[in-house]
Amino acid sequence: MSAAHPSAPAGMPLARLDEGYPVLAALSPSGRQRLLEAARWMRVPAGTCLFDEHQACEGFPFVVDGSIRVVKSAPNGRELPLYRVGAGETCILSTSCLLGHEDYRARGVTEGETVLMLLPQAVFEDLLDERPFREFVFHLFAERIAGLMQLIEEVAFRRLDQRLAAQLLGKGRTLRLTHQQLADELGSVREIVSRLLKGFADQGLVRLGREQVEILDPAGLRRTASGEPARSAG
């Protein structure tokens, strides 16, 4: 009910669209026209599965609000997050699949309530005629590929303590989350994360509390993240 009909979202989202995607606001008038006519809007609750392995969604999704967590899941049930799609990004995986006629290889789940705009493939392809839009899309591709390569580096070469330390950095002095959530981010399990965090705490790098991790020594964590040997408190 957020939209009486597809091209007439309930006020707010359209403003947010332009705000999040300046490139769409800068389209040619005719392109913009086509976009607005063809777009389908969706507002979905948290935890909705938007696509899954071997099952594509039928349009190019522009995330207007909220975010999508894209994960690869293992045969044994564990999962590894590949990346997130936040407001202002399109799900390049969808793009890739639709443009390349490949199959999906991952699952996408909304993290919070999420508003997205779906564009039919034909319209999307037409918009690619406009160079700024095309550059925008390529830019996203580039970021995603760089991100995936980064991820490969991490899972293939970094130890879990390094990855965990990295995970803790850059999110403020104290983070409110459970060990389970951290484990999920790393594609690992709770016990190991608890163990490693305990180690960090013993080194004075963090202080632990229920559902919270307080960063005491960011520099030390950075050292750990980059694989330097732990230095004793002496």
Partner DNA sequence: CCGGCTCTGTAACTCTGGTCACAGACCCGG
Partner DNA sequence: CCGGGTCTGTGACCAGAGTTACAGAGCCGG
State the residues that interact with DNA by CB under 7 A.
76, 159-161, 178-180, 187-192, 194-195, 197-198, 201, 208, 210-212
172: left (phi over 0), alpha (psi -120 to 50) or beta: left
CB of 230 to DNA, least distance (A): 10
Is 129 one of the binding residues for a second copy (CB under 8 A)? yes
CB atoms within 10 A of CB 52: 15
Is 229 one of the binding residues for a second copy (CB under 8 A)? no
CB of 172 to a second copy, least distance (A): 26
Contact of residue 11 among DNA, a second copy, none (CB under 5-8 Å per partner type)? none
Largest Cα span, the chain? 69
Is 142 one of the binding residues for a second copy (CB under 8 A)? yes
- Of the CA atoms within 13 Å of residue 114, those in its CB half-sphere come to 27
Give the span between the Cα atoms of 161 and 222, in whole angstroms: 11
- In this structure, are residues 21 and 61 in contact, taking their beta carbons and an 8 Å threshold? no
Q: Which of 133, 55, 64 is nearest to 98 (CA)?
A: 55
- Cβ neighbors of 131 (< 8 A, separation 6 or more) are none
What x-and-dash track marks residues 173-212 binding a second copy by CB under 8 A?
Answer: --------------x-------------------------
- Cβ neighbors of 174 (< 8 A, separation 6 or more) are 212, 213, 214, 215
What x-and-dash track marks residues 54-93 binding a second copy by CB under 8 A?
Answer: ------------------x-xxx-x-x-x---------xx
- In this structure, are residues 60 and 121 in contact, taking their beta carbons and an 8 Å threshold? yes
Contact of residue 188 among DNA, a second copy, none (CB under 5-8 Å per partner type)? DNA
Among 54, 101, 173, 210, binds a second copy (CB under 8 A): 101
Helix (H, G, I), strand (E, B) or coil at 43: strand
Contact of residue 93 among DNA, a second copy, none (CB under 5-8 Å per partner type)? a second copy
Give the span between the Cα atoms of 138 and 231, in whole angstroms: 43
Among 10, 46, 145, 189, binds a second copy (CB under 8 A): 145
Residues that bind a second copy (CB under 8 A): 72, 74-76, 78, 80, 82, 92-93, 95-97, 99-103, 105-106, 125, 128-129, 131, 134-135, 138-146, 148-153, 155-157, 187, 227
